[in-house]
Amino acid sequence: MSVDLSQFIPSFLEESFEGLALMESGLLDLKRGDNETIHSIFRAAHSIKGGAGTFGFDNVTEFTHLVETLLDEMRDGRREVTSKDTEILLDAVDCMRLLIEAARDNQDYDHDKVAKTSSRLSETLGDEQSTDSENESNSNIEKKDACGYNIKFIPEHSLAKTGNDPIFLFSALAELGELTICANTEELPALMDIDAQELYLSWQLTLITDVEEAEVIEIFEWVEDECLLTLEPITNTSDDEFTQNLSEGVNSIISEPSVQPQLPSKAANQISLASTKVEHEPDAVIEEKSKAAKGKVKADLGSIRVGVDKVDSLINLVGELVITQSMLSELGNDFDMTKVERLTNGLEQLLQNTKELQESVMRIRMLPISFAFNRFPRLVHDLAIKTGKTMELVINGEQTELDKTVMEQIGDPLVHLVRNAADHGIESKEIRLANGKPEKGTISLDAYHQGGNIVIEIKDDGAGINRTSVLDKAIDKGLIDANATLTDSQVYDLLFEPGFSTAAEVTDISGRGVGMDVVKRNIQALGGRIQVESTLGKGSTFKVNLPLTLAILDGQLVKVGTETYIIPLISIVESLQIDNNLINRVSGDMVLYRLRDDNVPVLPIYQLFNLETECTEIDKALLVVVEADGQKVGLMVDDLLAQQQVVIKSLNDNYQQVAGISGATILGDGSVAMILDIPGMINMALEQAQRAQRVKTDGNSSVAAELCL
């Protein structure tokens, strides 16, 4: 029976990317004499090479073999760990990732980059080999003229539990030559006592081949800690002597005392000794299956790993729901008013179970933010080399959990912010020393929960942001008036204007402000916001505030006419009853409300969405003050309703995008409520005010023209 290996490709790809991450982090922390780390890096590379060979990804296998050889020399002490070799290996990890991604997506890859790195690896290995060529030639003289090996392979009983299968080992051996396999069943227990997860067999193998012993041992390296392995070379003697050696090897197994399993005698005879050759499918069949598997792998990768505790929680909650449903069904069979109290209790229990089930399901999508942070040690390492600066990355809160969808979309903005910190935040070591700072700059990534949101802080102890330079640049670009008085927060928000930068020269790494408008737009698209704090000469902090998930929203329900709208709680500053004495009307029919030190524009929702309502007078309405893009506005509503979590439904998927609306939800009574897009509503109000101002200006111009006539 042949096994379709293509079903295991998604698991191999997932484990390979984890192995690459382990190799990269290990290489970044690698120090001279750190044999344990080198060994773990080697095992990761060896696992990737072995899996790639099994699934027919030959380019991955061939390239990784060079990486593995270099690591093996470091592991055995034949080569010292140098920064040059570490950089080559880091580049090699990048190439391995390219090759595996190409295999996953069934697409081409950068052949030039892979070839260049492969050449560097070969040259590095060649230098070492030329140094040891004399020793190698001497050892070759001493080698016997071998024609094969007798191999004794006794695996531990738990070998199969670690995912290792002797069949794969035998398949790899069979590719080296002619393989004969004899199984020893002496430890096979009675049928009723067999544990399906245990391995009770051992094997005597005879391999006829001309390959070196190291190549044979290499096949068993992944299981070397879980087996007893001995190799005896078969010298090139006469055929009779060879046959005798082989016969003695097999008889030694048969003659050893063994406990026969309690099976019928015929069956016992069949399994007491197995001698066979590993058969392979034709290459054309394997290639065809491999191509078919590669084509469908991409669709199978939309998966996440879930902890057993989360699954157990779900199972328990489903059990509670079944019990509650059973109780309510029993009440419904013969209901009367005496059972109202039991019905009420059952409905409350159902509500509680449903809420807990919702929270548990949402936790399944939650992943540690370390999945997003893992790329940054390598990024900072490369930037330090490219800029010639000395810097380190400190990560805190990497176990803070975030929705998988949010994490996937926040990666690029975080990369841009870290690059900015490294390129324009951290000073050169000469400047730092002159300013009394440590030579090594520090970039910090912190993640923590705050309320129902997650906060990610990107800090640096660099030069900070020059407030005066930002203001001068903004005035030059016509973004603000020369006499404008701005708070620090408003000044730093200017960095997010399109094309705004105070850098003396824009590098190929980043420019403080170049592309920052895209960063802000992407963060806002996730329902988040970004704030900047900075002290000149001491450093800057970019604080990103994000919702934990995009599927659920904490919202405030408000009433406008006959419609119910939902305002995201994250945007609400405060709600208040309007005081008529604090209302000011300005040009363009814009109404301002004096809120302590701020003049807050008032946006009547009924006017924005053309609704009919009896509450059209501002002094009889309620005001919900919200904030977005550093601007506060007051939303004029008829009434405040409850606060609740709502499930977000996309308008794009079900209808089309509507200005001022970010999504919709279904309320408990079955009605549909729209979720307000606060930044979008502010833009709508500003556009309306600008149109009104233009109309008023054009009207005055017409009157003046008539008077002149």
Contacts of 154 (CB under 8 A, 6+ apart): 202, 203, 227, 228, 229
Measure the CA–CA gap between 218 and 224, rounded to whole angstroms. Answer: 9
Measure the CA–CA gap between 371 and 636, rounded to whole angstroms. Answer: 42
Stated as kind and residue range, the H or E segment containing 543 is strand 539-547
Instruction: For residue 456, name the pLDDT band (cuts at 50, 70, 90).
Output: very high
Instruction: For residue 558, name the pLDDT band (cuts at 50, 70, 90).
Output: very high
Candidates 3.30.420.40, 3.40.50.300, 3.30.565.10, 3.90.1300.10; CATH matching 368-547:
3.30.565.10
Instruction: Answer yes or no: is pLDDT of 696 > 70.
Output: no
What is the amino acid identity at position 677?
A: D
Measure the CA–CA gap between 416 and 418, rounded to whole angstroms. Answer: 6
Taking residue 507's Cβ as centre, other Cβ atoms within 10 Å add up to 13
Which one, of 399, 470, 390, 403, lies nearest residue 431 by Cα?
A: 390
What is the amino acid identity at position 88?
A: I
Instruction: Answer yes or no: is pLDDT of 536 > 70.
Output: yes
Q: How far, rounded to the nearest angstrom, does the alpha carbon of residue 273 sit from its chain's CA centroid? A: 49
**What digits encode the pLDDT tens for the residues 594-611?**
888 788 888 888 888 888
CB 625 within 8 A of CB 640: no
Q: To the nearest 10°, the Cα dihedral for 603, 609, 613, 615?
A: 0
Measure the CA–CA gap between 646 and 53, rounded to whole angstroms. Answer: 49
Residue-averaged pLDDT of the chain: 78
**What digits encode the pLDDT tens for the residues 285-305?**
434 444 444 444 443 445 677
Which one, of 490, 487, 515, 489, lies nearest residue 501 by Cα?
A: 515
Superfamily of domain 552-694: CheA-289, Domain 4 (2.40.50.180)
* CATH-assigned architecture of domain 143-272: 2-Layer Sandwich (3.30)
Measure the CA–CA gap between 384 and 422, rounded to whole angstroms. Answer: 8
Tokens of 184: 């020893």
Which one, of 46, 51, 40, lies nearest residue 11 by Cα?
A: 51
Taking residue 395's Cβ as centre, other Cβ atoms within 10 Å add up to 16
Instruction: Tell me the β-bridge partners of 150.
Output: 206, 232
CA distances from 20 to 27, 90, 437 (A): 10, 10, 36
Instruction: Tell me the β-bridge partners of 603.
Output: 635
Helices (H), 234-307: 239-255, 265-272, 283-300
Measure the CA–CA gap between 539 and 443, rounded to whole angstroms. Answer: 10
Domain extents for the chain?
5-140, 143-272, 308-364, 368-547, 552-694
In this prediction, residue 97 carries a pLDDT of 92
In this prediction, residue 692 carries a pLDDT of 61
What is the amino acid identity at position 198?
A: E
Q: Is 147 exposed, middle or buried (0-12, 13-18, 19+ CB in 10 A)?
A: middle
In this prediction, residue 547 carries a pLDDT of 81
Q: Which pTM does this prediction carry?
A: 0.60
In this prediction, residue 396 carries a pLDDT of 92
- pLDDT over 70, % of the chain: 80
Measure the CA–CA gap between 383 and 391, rounded to whole angstroms. Answer: 9
Instruction: Tell me the β-bridge partners of 396.
Output: 446
Instruction: For residue 698, name the pLDDT band (cuts at 50, 70, 90).
Output: low
Taking residue 304's Cβ as centre, other Cβ atoms within 10 Å add up to 10
Tokens of 511: 């420019």
Measure the CA–CA gap between 64 and 44, rounded to whole angstroms. Answer: 10
Measure the CA–CA gap between 204 and 182, rounded to whole angstroms. Answer: 5
What is the amino acid identity at position 271?
A: I
In this prediction, residue 356 carries a pLDDT of 83
CA distances from 203 to 5, 222, 280, 381 (A): 24, 17, 20, 48
Instruction: Please compute Rg for the chain using Cα positions.
Output: 35
**What digits encode the pLDDT tens for the residues 206-243?**
988 888 888 888 888 778 778 888 888 886 554 444 44
Measure the CA–CA gap between 355 and 332, rounded to whole angstroms. Answer: 23
Listed ranges 120-134, 361-375, 551-565; the one with the highest mean pLDDT: 551-565
Sign of CA dihedral 428, 434, 435, 439: positive
In this prediction, residue 503 carries a pLDDT of 61
Of 260-269, 319-328, 485-494, 618-627, the range with the lowest mean pLDDT is 260-269
Candidates 3.90.79.10, 1.20.120.160, 1.10.10.10, 3.30.1010.10; CATH matching 5-140:
1.20.120.160
What is the amino acid identity at position 613?
A: T
- Reduced to 3 states, what is the DSSP secondary structure of residue 252? helix
| Residue scoring higher pLDDT (627 or 464) | 464
